[in-house]
Structure 1
Amino acid sequence: MDGTDPARTGNAVPDRPFWVQRAASDATVRLGSRDEVFLPRRGLASLFRLPGASDPAPDGRRMVGLCAWATALGLVGMAVALRGLYAILSGTDPVWYEPTLIVGGLAGIALTVGGFLSIQRRRLPWLMLGGATVPLLLNLVLTVIAL
């Protein structure tokens, strides 16, 4: 025993990121008094490559671009939501408006969050923010037309 195996030394930091396929012998890492098992990600979770301890930080320009786009989505979304709230509280909105506004807003928020969760991917964050823009624009158009 050379003391480098994390399962034997009690080292809580794995030697590879969580999303890397591990051999059966690598699956258990000793964390104090309990064993922690890292399972490979499958399905939807495999799309979001969360950064590990050994990953470099995202490029500054990339982060500024994502944050600027998300800020623009948030500001326009807030304006649409406030106008919609005023119409809903005053009772001047059509019957279909409130559920449409809520579903579109939640879809946009979920896609924006997914864009930030997938920051380590090359194109996925931009595609998700583009996808978040679609329901926002639909809500904006419906708000202008309906109210």
Structure 2
Amino acid sequence: MAGYSAMLGLMGVGVGLYAIVAVLRGAPGWYLPALAMLTMFSVGLAVGAFLAVHQRTLPWILLAAAAPPMFGALMLAVSN
């Protein structure tokens, strides 16, 4: 679980760094709010997974649900 979360976290850091560069280069006005919403949704699910660590399958379900929004944020970041 920690490795999966670390992968999500490192991907989020990469998206954030790429977003900073994109904003400094003059990204459109919708870019940063859309990227922030996707990233915060993914982070919220990952936080929920760690809060539910004493459950058997719920953390894995939440971590699996956190991957698609982070992947969407990654695709949005590299498309700009």
Structure 1: any 5+ residue segments left out of the alignment? Answer: 1-65
1 or 2, which has the higher helix percentage? Answer: 2
User: When the two structures are superposed, what TM-score results if normalisation uses the length of structure 1?
Assistant: 0.52
The number of equivalent residue pairs is 80
**Residue 51 (structure 2) aligns with:** 117
**Residue 99 (structure 1) aligns with:** 33
State yes or no: 1:126 paired with 2:29. Answer: no
State yes or no: 1:74 paired with 2:13. Answer: no
1 or 2, which has the higher strand percentage? Answer: 1
- Amino acid in the other structure paired with 2:21: Y
- Amino acid in the other structure paired with 1:78: V
Distance 1:135 1:94 in 2: 20
- Amino acid in the other structure paired with 1:126: W
Runs of 4+ more than 4 Å apart: none
The structure that has the greater radius of gyration is 1
State yes or no: 1:108 paired with 2:64. Answer: no
Distance 2:77 2:28 in 1: 10
**Residue 73 (structure 2) aligns with:** 139
User: When the two structures are superposed, what TM-score results if normalisation uses the length of structure 2?
Assistant: 0.92
